[in-house]
Chain A
Amino acid sequence: MSTLWIITKRIGKVFGIISLPIAFCETIGHPASVVGASMEPTLRGNDARWWKNDIVWLSKIHKFPKNGEIFTYISPRDPKVHHVKRVTATPGEIIDVRNRPPMPLGPLEYWMLSDNAIVGEDSRYYGPVNIGLFQGKVVFILWPLSRFGSVD
């Protein structure tokens, strides 16, 4: 066995070991910290003290979004920012909001609203969200332990 092959195997193994948790986070899910008060009282993230903000489990394994489920997605206004909101309308349903004529959602568009309607930007501000922007489904609150459990 040449040393080149041994080196390749070693580099491959190290790269593989490092990649495995990253791939896990991408395919299975990962914990995430909530920022902002837009999903109060379901999710709390409006405290400067990090341990007071909720930590949730984002699942990458999920079926198509349904009404009432909470998803994170890349904001249509700024690709650097992730928003977390609740699905209130699915493709085909008709949206009736002020300033917009009632129209059905496109085949891949979802209407996302904050639980806390006063705070936060949601679909009333930037319109329907394409499913390609969706990142993960909020399934569990991991922290604080007093509210541990499924969301809703």
Chain B
Amino acid sequence: MAQNGSWIKYVFKKVILRGAFLYSGCMVLNKYVGSIIFLTGDSMHPTIYDGDVVFTRTYNPRKHEIKKNDIVCVKSPTDRGILICKRVALLEHEYDNISFNDIRPSTRIAAGHCFLLGDNLYSSSDSRAFGPIPMGLIFSRVTYRIWPPNRIGFIEK
């Protein structure tokens, strides 16, 4: 009977250990390589539709460079725990000619910040609402669409 008990314990340990390996492996992949993300919402019509599934490449500021018109997933500056997916319209030091505002004169995007804009200007909450965001909030770049099958391919600039 003691042998029976230790067999269960051994299997249990195997499940826990494999679970820990799997969890860690997925976390490392997500943090250092990229992920597969299911996108929702209309804010990126016509580039990205509701329900598209894409590959993303995690952003490492020391290795990668965010260029203008890249589509990025950023940690939302207004809602904790949500990733929002928008296009980088302006980079640091560029003049902000998008936030049309009679009160505020044309300002420059601060160092280390970028201005996000959804492709569907009518239905997108982006930097026009919450202002330029620090690049440290950028989590990944969207590279390739893998669903739906009729629109598989690299994301258009």
Our pick among B20, B77, B110 for the contact of A20 (Cβ within 8 Å) is: B20
- Determine whether B112 belongs to the interface, using a CB cutoff of 8 Å to chain A: yes
Q: Are B112 and A19 in touch, CB under 8 angstroms?
A: no
What mask results when residues 126 to 141 of chain A are scored 1 for a CB within 8 Å of chain B, else 0? 1000111100000000
Question: What is the distance, in angstroms, from A89's C-beta to the closest C-beta of chain B?
Answer: 17
What mask results when residues 6 to 20 of chain B are scored 1 for a CB within 8 Å of chain A, else 0? 000000000000101
Q: Are B21 and A132 in touch, CB under 8 angstroms?
A: no
Residue of B nearest to A126 (CB): B110
Instruction: Provide the main secondary structure of the chain A interface.
Output: helix
Residue of A nearest to B63 (CB): A80
B28 contact set on A, CB distance < 8 A: 15, 18-19, 22-23
Knowing A80-B61, A108-B77, A108-B80 are in contact, say whether A22-B24 is a contact too (CB < 8 A).
yes
B-side residues, CB < 8 A to A, are 18, 20-25, 27-28, 31, 61-62, 75-78, 80, 110-113, 133-138
- A74–B20 Cα gap in the complex (Å)? 28
- Determine whether A17 belongs to the interface, using a CB cutoff of 8 Å to chain B: yes
- Determine whether A101 belongs to the interface, using a CB cutoff of 8 Å to chain B: no
B25 contact set on A, CB distance < 8 A: 12, 15-16, 19
